[in-house]
Each structure stands twice: as C-alpha cells, then as structure tokens.
Chains A and B, each alone.
Chain A
Amino acid sequence: MAPSVQSYEALVLENHPVGNYHRLLFQDNGALSKALPGQFINIRVFEGVVPLLRRPFSIARLLPGPKGKHRVEVLYASLRQGTQLLTDKRPGNTIGVLGPLGHPFPHMDKKHPALIVSGGIGVAPMVFLSEYLKKKGVPQEVFLGARTADDLVDLEVFKRLKVPIHITTDDGSKGRHGFVTQELEAYLEAGKAKPGTVIYACGPRPMFRAVSQVGDEFKIPTYLSWEEHMACGLGICLTCVCPVKQESGQTKMVRSCYEGPVFEASTIDWERI
C-alpha cells in the first residue's frame, strides 16, 4: 500500500444498470490520479452498521475530469445487501471511498504482449487494463466470457480501442457458445501467442482454476486478480488472505488487499483454498 491511500467522501455522478450489472461513476478528489490497472477501492455504501463493512471494487476506468481530477468508473453486480444499497445511490449522493489499494498488474509493457481474460463482472479491472495497454502500445488480445449476452458490459469500450476481441457465452446468446478458457486454449493451440506473452485474468473461482491450467499447459505466466472475503482493505484484519507458495516450499497466507490483489497463478497453493 502506497502512503497515498486516502479515505474520503466522493460525489456520485452516475449510477445505473448496464445489462445485468451496474455502472457507477463518481468524482475522485485526486487520490486515485495515479492509480493503475489492478488496483482497487473499498467503498463504504452506508454510514450505519448494517451492512457493516466496506465493499471492494476494481477500478474499471479513470476518465478525465475537471481540474485534473478523474471521474472513476466502477462496474458491479448487485448481489446482496451492500451492493443492493449501492444501486440506490443517485447523482448528488456521496459514498465513502478508500483507495487506491493493492498493487497493479505486473509488466504492462511492450515486452509482454497481453492476453486479457475475463469472466462475468471480472471484466471490471480489464477495461482499465486494456485502455492502459493500448495507450502504451502493448499488443493485446481480449477474451470476454459471460453467462449470457446481457452480462457483457463495457463491450463498446473494447470495440473503440480496436483491440482483437473474442467473446464466449455459456448460453450461446453472443459470441461463441462455451467457456472463455476454451477460447483461450484454442487461440494458444493455434500457436498465435508471441514470445513474452502473459495472461491477465479476472473472474469466478472455477474460471481461475481453468485459466491457471491453461497458462500452465502453455507455459505462459498467468496473473489473477484475486477476490476473497475482505473486511478492511488496509492490511490489518488478515481476512482476505491467499495461500501463496514460497521459494522455500512453504505456503504463506498473503493479504489480497495489501500484497495482492494480483497473484501469479502458479504460486497459488490450490489445496489450501
């Protein structure tokens, strides 16, 4: 965690459904100006104690705003009480923002062409990553997986970036019928990956396991934007740990919020999960 982490009240600018998910846009106070893809924020939706905890969200996009202060896009699924309350926020309301938290994706340079893989709302950090890599001229290939067509959000952003996009849906309502990891595997089997290629992935646990296996099979370093039940986001509660194998052979419980949230798939001790 950089010393620049701030806790502040932010003004909601937009908040509306997009397909089966939601898009929130809020005004940053400058704290997130230097945030990078992979970093996240912890949002306090409600001042009271039910729900008690903040909710962690990836930074989906930083859009230019007044006086050099960005407007920040968050993509989220309305699942339980916390995120349901978030959907009630209207422009002019405020939310408590804590961030930027965690470390960005590694590499993000021309020596490392990127295969971006997302499942469902796991697309959130990938929008930021894709835009960032495009700006830096890093070759990229985007694989978007979803249950159904309405789960595909920010597709227009990827299209505007003119990056190669592969779409799969579980029900075949858009793109290829099947899992995103099958599409990724087919791409790699065709020998299309350039030297130095890395995989960046975010999605549900089963997808993480599948993409890790693919990365392993094709000897491609795979970086997962990990998700775990989290209380503070500050590094003090030790709830959000990921079991990471050390060079010594020992497994260490490493904080997703502080040392993460990005972990290299081959280092994760899947037996401890």
Chain B
Amino acid sequence: MPCPSGKLNFERESKLKKKTQKTKPTLDLGVTIGKLKMVNPVMVASGCFGYGEEISKFYPLKQLGAIVVKGTTLEPRQGNSPTRMAETPAGMLNSIGLQNVGVDELLKTKMPFLRKAGVPVVVNINGKVLEEYVELAKRLDGQTGIGALEINISCPNVKEGGIEFGSSPEAAARVVSAIRKATKHTLITKLSPNVTDVKTIARACVDAGSDALSAINTVVGMAIDAKARKPILKSITGGLSGPAVKPIGLRVVYQVRQVVKVPIIGMGGIVTGEDAVEYLLAGATAVAVGTANYLEPNAALKVVEGLRKYMADNGVRKVSDLVGALRIF
C-alpha cells in the first residue's frame, strides 16, 4: 500500500533494510523416515510422554517431530507393583511393566486427541507372543495419524516381555517379518543394548523388513538400599535411563550405522541440543528425548532450540548434513 508520508516511507525502507541484513539462510530441520514426515528430528521416546495430554498444557505438540506413545499391548495392563523407580547417578531405574490403556482405548480416546494436536504419532507395540504383535499391527493398520509403528522387542521389565525377541537375531527377524506382512505402516524396531552383538540383531531386523531402527531401550540395572539390605525396586532389576546411558546409546548407534543403511532414531540420555547433535553425528537420522521430559515439561523443545542454535552457529543448513558426519581422526 502506498504511504502518503515520506517520513513513514523512510522508516519502512530502513526496516526492510534491517530485515534483509538480519535474514540468515533458513535452517532445514525436516526429516522423513519411511512414511513418517517430521518438521524436525526431535521425537519423544515411548513411555516418557504418556499420550501427550499432560504436556500439551505446556506447549503445542506439533512443535515436536513426532510422539512415540506409551508401549501398547492388546489388552490394558496395570503394570508392576511399586516401588517402580530408583534414582541413580545421572540417571534413573524404572520398572513400570508396560502399564498402558490397551490398543482399543488408544484408538478410541488417545488417537483423536493426538490427531487434533497435529503431531505425527508412532505407536510402540508389545506382545507376549508373536501373534499378539501381529494382531496389534493389524488393528493399527490403516489408522490415520499414525506415522509408524515401533516394535518393542526389548522391554526389560515384563517377565514374559518382548526381550526374548530382542536377544536373538532369529527371533527378532521372525517377529519383524510377521509384522511386516500384517501392516503397511512404516516399521521401526527398537533395539536393546542388553545383548552381546547388537549389529547382528540390527541387520536381522532390517533384512526382515524393518524400515528403521531405534536405539537404545533402557539398560538393565539394579539399585540397592544398603541400610535396609533390600533392592529399591520391587521387581529387583529395572531399566536405566538418563544421561548415564548416553555413552552406551552413542556406541550402539555408531556400531549399528556401520552395518545397516536404514534410518536410525537415536536415544538415551538426551538433555541438550548438543546431545542430539552427538547422536546425529554417530549416525542417527532422528533422535528421541526420554527421561529429560521428567526434568522439565518443555525439555524436548529445548533440544529443538539447542539443535537450531548448533546449526546456526556452525553453518549447518540442513540437519541431514549432520547425519553420520563424525570425523574419525
């Protein structure tokens, strides 16, 4: 619109000038993993964000790359008896035992909320036996708002849990290939660090049809109350998470990157943007924030901000340029 006053025109021009001067090349944080399209590579890890309802009161969830919802089973589960948590140096042990609302309730009440929130959803699926995984995959097939399924073959906290599938390449391949036949969704298999050779298992999952991998699940650990001479967790052992496990997570992502070409979602101890960058350098295409969500409601957003800052400070325009960009001496 033409401005009648020269003074205002001058002001406008100087404002425009300022704007041009300030404009930096836009950062490209977008990431695609199979059919999962994300505005940035920062997801929130399964079991560390519920179904998003609580945190949605603090910030719009669509600012996240994706939400991986609480580990889902066919039937609702109440999980383990308390005590379920023990704090350890730079970390925590948990033993929730897959407490979740079950797949029917997920589809009935949680998915409508998440679809409305406009954030891609990854459903973490768990079964006691192969048939349960397959049934879950079938029920979730064709459901809108779901960007991918994450196959949990590595939960350390349920007796009959998926960990048996996660500890051998043959069993892992069997469950992945059965699920592959049951759904068109993008499949991510979540790897356990509690194995002797994670590379063989990773390769077996990819060969069986997994479109991506996520690493790591929690590290089996234990905490003892010396005074009482008792384990702190009712289940005796639990899964360690938090900054204490970051070196293990980085190692697993780095090792797996050497043997597979599919995208890896790196997780384990990410608190800052720089932690996320470390995972990307090790070979992850995206990352997930877990335990840090417990420290600050907006922890995952801080990771996004930190990542942006790193990119701006280091002249990285595309986040994908960081993936696997580790310099080995």
Residues of A within 8 A of B (CB): 1, 3, 5, 7, 44, 49-54, 82, 96, 98, 228-232, 234-243, 251-253, 258, 272-273
B288 interfacial contact with A, CB 8 Å: no
CB distance A49 to B243 under 8 Å?
A: yes
Residues of B within 8 A of A (CB): 47-50, 54-55, 57-58, 70, 78-79, 81-87, 89-92, 94, 96, 99, 232, 242-243, 271, 291, 293-298
Residue from A7, A44, A242, A252 within 8 A of B82 (CB atoms): A242
| Distance of A232 from chain B, by nearest CB (Å) | 4
CB distance B54 to A230 under 8 Å?
A: no
Q: Across the interface, which residues of A come within 8 angstroms of B87, CB to CB?
A: 51-53, 82, 229, 231
| Distance of A68 from chain B, by nearest CB (Å) | 24
If over half of B's interface residues share one DSSP class (helix, strand or loop), that class is named, otherwise mixed; here it is loop
CB distance A53 to B295 under 8 Å?
A: yes
CA–CA, A194 to B298, complex, Å?
48
Q: Across the interface, which residues of A come within 8 angstroms of B58, CB to CB?
A: 5, 7
Residue from B85, B89, B271 within 8 A of A239 (CB atoms): B85
Q: Across the interface, which residues of B come within 8 angstroms of A82, CB to CB?
A: 87
13 sample A-B contacts, Cβ–Cβ < 8 Å, listed by A number = A52-B87, A52-B91, A53-B92, A228-B82, A229-B84, A229-B232, A231-B92, A232-B295, A234-B294, A238-B79, A238-B96, A241-B84, A253-B99
Given that A272-B81, A273-B81 are contacting pairs, would A229 and B295 also be in contact in the complex, using a CB cutoff of 8 Å? no
When A and B form their complex, which 8 residue pairs have the shortest distance between CB atoms, in order from nearest? A239-B85, A232-B294, A231-B294, A229-B85, A236-B50, A235-B54, A49-B243, A49-B90
If over half of A's interface residues share one DSSP class (helix, strand or loop), that class is named, otherwise mixed; here it is loop
CB distance A54 to B81 under 8 Å?
A: no
CA–CA, A242 to B211, complex, Å?
39
Q: Across the interface, which residues of B come within 8 angstroms of A50, CB to CB?
A: 89-90
Given that A237-B94, A251-B78 are contacting pairs, would A229 and B48 also be in contact in the complex, using a CB cutoff of 8 Å? no
Given that A5-B57, A52-B90, A253-B79 are contacting pairs, would A240 and B293 also be in contact in the complex, using a CB cutoff of 8 Å? no
Given that A240-B85, A241-B84 are contacting pairs, would A44 and B55 also be in contact in the complex, using a CB cutoff of 8 Å? no
| Distance of A21 from chain B, by nearest CB (Å) | 19
Given that A49-B242, A231-B85 are contacting pairs, would A54 and B79 also be in contact in the complex, using a CB cutoff of 8 Å? no
Instruction: List 17 other contacts, CB 8 Å, given A53-B87, A240-B85.
Output: A44-B296, A49-B90, A52-B90, A52-B243, A53-B294, A98-B297, A229-B86, A229-B87, A232-B293, A232-B294, A232-B295, A234-B297, A237-B96, A239-B85, A240-B82, A251-B78, A253-B99
**Smallest CB gap from A228: residue in B:** B82
CA–CA, A240 to B85, complex, Å?
8
Q: Across the interface, which residues of A come within 8 angstroms of B232, CB to CB?
A: 229
**Smallest CB gap from B246: residue in A:** A49
CB distance B96 to A229 under 8 Å?
A: no
**Smallest CB gap from A2: residue in B:** B57
Q: Across the interface, which residues of B come within 8 angstroms of A242, CB to CB?
A: 82
Given that A53-B294, A53-B295, A239-B94 are contacting pairs, would A234 and B81 also be in contact in the complex, using a CB cutoff of 8 Å? no
Most buried by B among A44, A50, A272: A50
Q: Across the interface, which residues of A come within 8 angstroms of B81, CB to CB?
A: 243, 272-273
CB distance B83 to A229 under 8 Å?
A: yes
Given that A241-B79, A243-B81 are contacting pairs, would A7 and B96 also be in contact in the complex, using a CB cutoff of 8 Å? no
| Distance of A130 from chain B, by nearest CB (Å) | 29
Given that A229-B84, A234-B54, A238-B84 are contacting pairs, would A44 and B78 also be in contact in the complex, using a CB cutoff of 8 Å? no
Q: Across the interface, which residues of A come within 8 angstroms of B84, CB to CB?
A: 229, 238-241
CB distance B78 to A49 under 8 Å?
A: no
